[in-house]
Amino acid sequence: MNYWQNGGETPPSADHIYVNGYGFVREDPWQRENRDIWKNAAVVGIILVGILVLPSLFDYPVQILLNLLLAPFLYLTEGSYAAAGIQVLYLQLRSLLLYALSMLLPLLVAAALLRPKRRRPVSLFRRPTPHLMSTGTAISLAVWVLFYLGGNLLSGGLLQLGILSLSPDNSLPAAPAAVAVYLIRLFLPALLEELLFRGYILRSMRQFGDSFAIVASSAAFGLIHYTFTRDLRSFVLGLVLAYFVIRSGSLWTAVTARFACILLNFAVDCLPRLFPGALSTFFSSCLFLVILALGLLSFIQFCRMDGNPFILSSGHTATRISRKLLRFFGNAFVVIAIVLWVIQAAGYMQYIG
């Protein structure tokens, strides 16, 4: 005899089903969770496709706009040096506008469609503890160095096979007017990309478990870069950044760490100009050793202070993480984004054998 027949409960309505561990529910939790993962994956896939495609779509309109704005200055300048400076400024402004458009529109889509499960979500920009911010920054820098060196080894191995791994020209411009635009373009990703990937995407995915959210958001982050080595480095760095955002509860942890990584990359690129030859290699090697040592010490100290640093919330989930990842990466929009990423990354590989 059922319990409610003895007067203990009200019998469920006809549209309820019984699920072990959940009781009588209107919908199977497994089906609901898979449907929600599919919806979130579709939005993330659309965002990734937009980031990869929008620069090509906006390139011609941006060129027309810049030509209209800079044509008077080019006409009034005298001498080839001034004209070359305006041309460099034009290229930097073009790069900045294309990047801003390719990120701001996906950010609007994410803000509108990727909403957390809570009605009143916690603010992304809470003040983190100084300990977590400094620890996250030190470990992120160490991870960046490790995969920077690993990427160089991989590029060298590919070169031995006759494959040259190219990368976009991101060198410091010589024209003074273009330097400010270059610096804005250089450090803008520390805010926009962290807001998108460690903000909206990570927060919306946490309802399916923290581990799944970290892997999914980091994989999406890795797909927006240019070469296979940079994509791998970005994926692993994204894992670290997402972890510390969850631990600290603040996006500022990731923004600070990402800003430090970009600054380190900028310093490494500038060292050959300041110290040509073997001296540049010496200073960069010393810098890398110091960063790796600080990262290792920070990691040890973090593990000592936090008794369970690698235990994350699984959330109220009915599906294993492997099935959730298959559901996420099997979404048609995510598959399209992966295909576009492969095409883009292959474009930066040149066979010279």
pLDDT at 290: 97
- Extract long-range pairs of 259-264: CB within 8 Å, 24+ residues apart: 259/187, 259/190, 260/137, 260/140, 260/141, 261/140, 261/141, 261/144, 261/237, 262/186, 262/187, 262/189, 262/190, 263/187, 264/141, 264/144, 264/145, 264/291
Burial of 118 (0-12, 13-18, 19+ CB in 10 A): exposed
On whether the CB atoms of residues 124 and 245 are closer than 8 A, the answer is no
- Characterize the bridge pairing of strands 163-165 and 17-19: unpaired
Average pLDDT for 197-217: 93
Q: How far apart are CA 12 and CA 59, in angstroms?
A: 59
Dihedral angle, C-alpha 69, 71, 74, 77, nearest 10 °: -80
Q: Which residues contact 339 (CB under 8 A, 6 or more apart)?
A: none
Any residues with CB less than 8 A from the CB of 16 and at least 6 apart, and which? 24, 25, 26
Write out the DSSP string of 31-88: HHHHHHHHHHHHHHHHHHHHHHHHHHHHHHHHHHHHHHHHHHHHHH--SHHHHHHHHH
Strand partners, 349: 165
Percentage of residues in the chain having pLDDT higher than 90: 48
Q: Say which residue, 310 or 61, is predicted with more confidence.
A: 61
> Tokens at residue 48, please?
């990734």
- List pLDDT tens digits, range 228-272: 888 888 999 999 999 999 998 899 999 999 999 999 999 998 888
As a three-state string, the secondary structure of 153-188 is: HHHHHHHHCCEEECCCCCCCCCCHHHHHHHHHHHHC
CA distances from 210 to 213, 232, 298 (A): 5, 21, 23
- Average pLDDT of the residues of the chain: 84
Q: What's the pLDDT tens digit per position in 85-143?
A: 788 888 899 999 999 999 999 999 999 998 776 656 667 778 888 888 999 999 999 99
Antiparallel, parallel or unpaired: β 23-25 and 17-19: antiparallel
- pLDDT tens digit sequence for 167-194: 776 777 877 778 889 999 999 999 999 9
Instruction: Tell me the per-residue pLDDT of 281-310, one tens digit each, with 9 for 90 and over.
Output: 899 999 999 999 999 999 999 988 877 777
The model's confidence at residue 80, banded by pLDDT at 50, 70 and 90, is low
| pLDDT tens figures, 315-353 | 667 678 888 999 999 999 999 999 999 888 888 888 776
The residue ranking higher by pLDDT, 21 or 83, is 83
CA 196 to chain centre: 8
- pTM for the full predicted model: 0.87
Question: Which has the minimum average pLDDT: 37-41, 71-75, 262-266, 270-274?
Answer: 71-75
Which one, of 118, 121, 117, 110, lies nearest residue 42 by Cα?
110
Paired tokens of 138 = 């030190």
Given a cut of 50, whether residue 55 has pLDDT beyond it is yes
Q: What is the rounded average pLDDT of the residues 11-38?
A: 63
Q: How far apart are CA 4 and CA 6, in angstroms?
A: 5
| pLDDT score for 229 | 80
Q: Domain spans of the chain? A: 31-351
Which run of H or E residues covers position 17?
strand 17-19
